[in-house]
Structure 1
Amino acid sequence: MSIRFDGKVAIVTGAGAGLGRCHALGLAARGAKVMINDIAAVGEVSAAAAAVVAEIEAAGGEAIAHGANVADAAQVEDMVAQTMAKWGRVDILINNAGILRDKSFAKMTMDDFRLVVDVHLMGAAYCSKAVWNIMREQGYGRIVMTTSSSGLYGNFGQANYGAGKMAVVGLMNTLSIEGHKNNIRVNALSPTAATSMTEGLISEEVFALITPESVTPAALFLCSDEAPTKTIVGAGAGSYAVARLYETDGMYLPEEHQNPEGIAEHWQQLFDNSEQKELSSGWGQTAKFVEKSAAGQGIAIDLSNV
């Protein structure tokens, strides 16, 4: 099987350097036409974005650039409008743009918290919204969010970044459900890569292993016809994994035990993961709890038509 993007149009945000650049080059090398986004003054194109466009064109591909700030909805809409004017469609969106403002939560300003969340969460939301109806009308779309282990698992000094990165997983979860009937598949990439954002935070030996080039294959797979949906793929140093959110089976507590003391008393049973499973939607949790309650009280209940 050969994965190609001939005839497809992609937008990659934060594509002037690092992972975004690598993703854009990978898409172009496999036939996609690519909009290179890298923040610049309104109406201008950054030197970094222009260099990526030139690199793609020198290899025989097609690319244009736009300096939209992804946290500005109007700029994002203009970027998408220019993409449509040039190529008439948008098949792929990689929400890659991001920033860091690392500090312990005690020392972090709320301005820095909001700024990081705006770029990561609102940037992904604005870009996804701008292409959503285009993809619906086409009956085809692939959207890749960029999450992080800092959001999935936590990391000291990154409360703002972790919050934004976990939030895009929530966005992915719902968009994957809403996009299903129109063949819009929405996934998330959790990369570990040596970029300007991570330089100085890790040793040179590790930095040499976690190249952007080792992450991009996962991004390209999530952009392909064969992509899954509602899936988090971790990638780094040539290794790949899938991260999944599970919930323990839990148990029904009779009314006399529905208090903090009852939860404490039964904690080990609630925490038991032997019967845990992945839920397909928020309703899955509701249905499970209602079924357990009904069974515990001897009530017959039918959830099939709810």
Structure 2
Amino acid sequence: MRWIDGHCDVLSKMWRDPQYRSFYAQGSPLDSSYHCLCEADVAMQVFAVWTPESVPRQQRLAVALKEIDFFYEEVVRDGSRVFLVTDGGQMDECGHGRIGALLLLEGADALHGDLANLRLFHRLGVRQMGLTWNFANEVADGIYEERGGGLTRFGRQVIMEMKRLGMILDVSHLSDRGFWEVIEETGLPILASHSNCRAVCAHKRNLGDEQIEALIQRQGLIGVTFVPEFVHHCAAEATIDQVLRHVEHICALGGADHLFFGSDFDGFANKLPGLESYSRLPQLVEALSKRYGDDLVRKWGWENGKQFYQRHLSP
């Protein structure tokens, strides 16, 4: 059963520590190594380009460019096993012995307040961007920013340029006010790549019911994630069954055609039992199939994401 994973942090791990520059190695310490993805039949993987808060602001562009270099040198290489996806027409090529790879810029900090850098990232293959990580930047406030601001004037310019370039906007990590200001924008494909349901687990990184319903109305996607803190109020007690509670809640809100998964693998340390890496995905598939049947699991694992990216990815 082919699968799309809406979010992983392989590239920032590669930047932080040379031991993770081992995407193709047997026994790689990466959660989302090539062999783990193959074991799970992941046909397309979204690779985040993320610069941590610890990086001085003036160096974030350089770090993001370094991570993109790792993407091409360590992951894509000659394109024979993993290939860059920039066009919706390429979705049919994913999973037939080759894994499609989409580049996501997670947080606009690396733009350094300059639209020329957004165009630079687009030319390097980035087709999706989240406006913030958890905190404020030149574009908007993140979800952990106490003042809860929305888009800045520059942020609105960024959105207009994303529309012109045909990019996809990711609202995970964005402040609530920023979320609603983005929803008001027309002509912009929107998804939440790795966020769960606040009604099930009241973590501020999760989405409220009205936000989920708004994404459904906008024909967006909601990526159920495996981060224990976002799955259950007591992270140490999070289980696969509780991941299914988020699936159930999104479906109850009318989101069965808008649900996919964004693991956030390689972006967090403490794992759910049975979902320690993508090699363990078959256990989640089995649990989903028992409760919902194979047809719905295919929809959530592959078809919803495939249709979204086919519609919205621009060459």
Shorter chain as denominator, the TM-score bin is: 0.3 to 0.5
User: What TM-score do you get using the length of structure 2 for normalisation?
Assistant: 0.36
